[in-house]
Structure 1
Amino acid sequence: MMNLDRQLEIQHEALRNERDLFIATLEKNPRYSSLSRAYRDSFSSYLRNPGKQFRSLFFILSCSSFLPGENGSFPYYSAALAIDMMHDFILIHDDLVDGAHRRRGEPTVDSKIYELQAGKKEQARHGALILGDLLYSLSLHLFTSGVRSSARGIDAVSRICEAAVETARGQLREFTLQECTWKDVEEESIYEVYDLKTGYYSFAAPMAVGALLGGAEEQVVSSLEEAGLYLSRAFQIRDDYLDIVSSCKVAGKRPHGDIVRGVKTIPLLYLYNNVSGTDRPFIHQILEEKKLCEGTVDRFLCIVEDSKLREYVHECEEIYLQHAFALFTSHIPECLEKKQLFHLCETLFTRE
């Protein structure tokens, strides 16, 4: 029997093939080819750099765990691709909101348009915004087409749309928190943002909708949605920690962006509340003034290293992972896909 890494790689290959087919079909469409070269090249280039694709893998493995005696090829690869493309759409908008210039080690969509249009920055941002909307429309159309044959297709589409609504709510809630002073921020408010902004579309919806299309009962679907929210909290805490300690090369985007934008995260709240002595006013000043310049980065990172933040992040991560795994164990039948699901989590949560 091939190992679990190879089995996941086969799924990755199938998703890449599905994406390549989608891009090839899109580029032959006269309506797409009528767009300016700057828009076409920026959009196609972005689609060809998909990232980890773990959202679609959670969807595939959750669905396959419940498909009764499925002997042929997986029937919902186009729907799986659509889930990843919805993530791509969200990132385009995130980069515009954050003023980011790098994503996955490459220029953001608006930066790429700006390069190709020779310096029209505002127009590039507007173009990227519309391309993001285009990508969401294409992904929703692709998902709808992909689940049309299922008796539960309408419910699946409804849940995917609901996840998009929750994501927007989470983004707006994050904006509200950014205006709060650190002393007024509570952990639960940050976790609410984690659940809404990241949890539903990244983990909860892919797992719940996958199980739904696979034929799972409603109680199981709800339990896997809950498991997805636990996974999301573990993932986001780790991701926010990496934003603090990673270099630009490792992160693929500008590090310390959360500090500069005033984003409230669990790791930063831990530093605000727990660093003591002469370092405490320094940390408070950094977070409250939203400034981390070249002259203060080294001291800041030394304080982080000397604190117990790493251990705290690991502890939180483990708690939420164990909650999720308990739900997996109780509600997913014993099968190869269940083993792959645990292995995917192990791979995802050992990233540095």
Structure 2
Amino acid sequence: MQIQEVFSRYASELKRVEEEMEAHLRSEVSVIPEIVNHLLGSGGKRFRPLLVLATADLFGYRGTRCYTLSAVIEFIHTASLFHDDVIDKAETRRGKVSANNIWGNAATVLVGDYLYSKAYQLMAKDGTMEIIQLISNTSNVMSEGEVFQLIKCGEANLSEEEYRKIIEKKTSILISAACALGGHLGGAGTERIEALKQFGLRLGSAFQITDDTLDYVASQDEFGKEIGKDLGEGKMTLPLIYTLKRCTPEERKFIEEALAERKAKEIPVAEILALISRYGGIADALRSAEILIDEGRAFLDGMPEGPAKEALLAISEYVLKRNL
């Protein structure tokens, strides 16, 4: 199964998710849906809701709770993007001017808070304690990841272990929760829900590693953000971590000084990209992502065979190949 077939299989369900999100974003404060729809309507693929739908389908779930809980996951994800853009002073998001550059930091942060509170309101209405605990724990870990990344920003000595800790907390944990949600809805049982969590953790880490790699190699039109943006923000990602391990002391000093002075003068993106290419940082980062995907697929062994499992395997393959 190809990724296009996956989206076709769940097209009607994803439409229901969109309708669910729209229904819960109505507010008498008109700027709230205006700001939210600026981002939600800018081309996101609804990757996390797709995982909720596919994992629920894996265990034969046919109810309507999946639409509300998919909206919960997407609201939390979108809220985190709003907060990220304020922290990073981002100018663009998905190829459009970022919300914080149009409405300002205060409004953007508050609308992010609104989305978080809306997600919890919907969870409370759903009323399943296991799901409330899952999402509550997930949101808490995501916040830890944001703070950890903030204090490590610009540190050229960030280890690969610390990097993986950041991406697991910031990105992987929500993708893991999306997979576990489908298992809960389908009554998969404790062991299989845990397997789905582990599948999602590895899928999410591979997703972030490829995303970080695309920061160096994709075209801006495809990727939706300025190439080299992570460098400009002082974010240490896996291709750069691998490069710093292998380059000469002089080259390391050059990169460290560029990161330290990034706020005072333009970062030499082309020169750093050349070093990353020379030392195989991109290729090795992608190999790391591939290993994670292979580990994740192993957690699907013994899961019910059929189109839903094929869809999850196709999503795994898509993560490795998107826009490269």
Q: Same fold (TM over 0.5)?
A: yes
SS at match of 1:349: helix
Distance in structure 1 (CA, Å) of the matches to 2:170 and 2:88: 15
Residue 145 of structure 2, aligned match among 170, 175, 189: 170
Larger radius of gyration: 1
Q: Which amino acid aligns with 2:19?
A: D
Residue 62 of structure 1, aligned match among 50, 55, 64: 55
The normalised TM-score by structure 2 is 0.89
SS at match of 1:262: coil
Q: 1:304 to 1:292 in 2, by over 3 A?
A: farther
Aligned residues: 323
Q: 1:240 to 1:13 in 2, by over 3 A?
A: same
Tell me which moved more, 271-280 or 211-220. Answer: 271-280
Q: 1:264 to 1:217 in 2, by over 3 A?
A: same
Question: Could you list the runs of 5+ residues in structure 1 that have no partner in the other structure?
Answer: 114-123
Q: Which amino acid aligns with 2:115?
A: L
The normalised TM-score by structure 1 is 0.82
Query: Where do 1:329-348 residues align within 5 Å?
Result: 329-330=301-302, 332-348=303-319
* CA RMSD of superposed structures (Å): 2.6
Matched residues, percent identical? 25
Residue 209 of structure 2, aligned match among 237, 242, 252: 237
> What residue is the counterpart of 1:8 in the other structure?
7
Residue 156 of structure 1, aligned match among 112, 126, 131: 131
Distance in structure 1 (CA, Å) of the matches to 2:2 and 2:172: 29
Q: CA deviation at 1:294?
A: 6.4
Distance in structure 1 (CA, Å) of the matches to 2:153 and 2:300: 35
Q: Deviations over 1:269-294 (max 9, x none)?
A: 11111123864443343334347976
Q: Deviations over 1:233-253 (max 9, x none)?
A: 211111111112334333212
Query: Where do 1:35-114 residues align within 5 Å?
Result: 35=29, 37-49=30-42, 51-67=44-60, 70=61, 72=62, 75-113=65-103
Q: CA deviation at 1:215?
A: 0.8
Query: Where do 1:126-205 residues align within 5 Å?
Result: 126-145=106-125, 147-148=126-127, 153-178=128-153, 181-183=155-157, 185-201=158-174, 203-205=175-177
Q: CA deviation at 1:192?
A: 1.0
Q: CA deviation at 1:166?
A: 0.4
Question: Could you list the runs of 5+ residues in structure 2 that have no partner in the other structure?
Answer: none
Q: CA deviation at 1:196?
A: 0.9
Tell me which moved more, 251-260 or 211-220. Answer: 251-260
Q: Which amino acid aligns with 2:132?
A: V
CA contact (8 A) 2:184 2:193 kept: yes
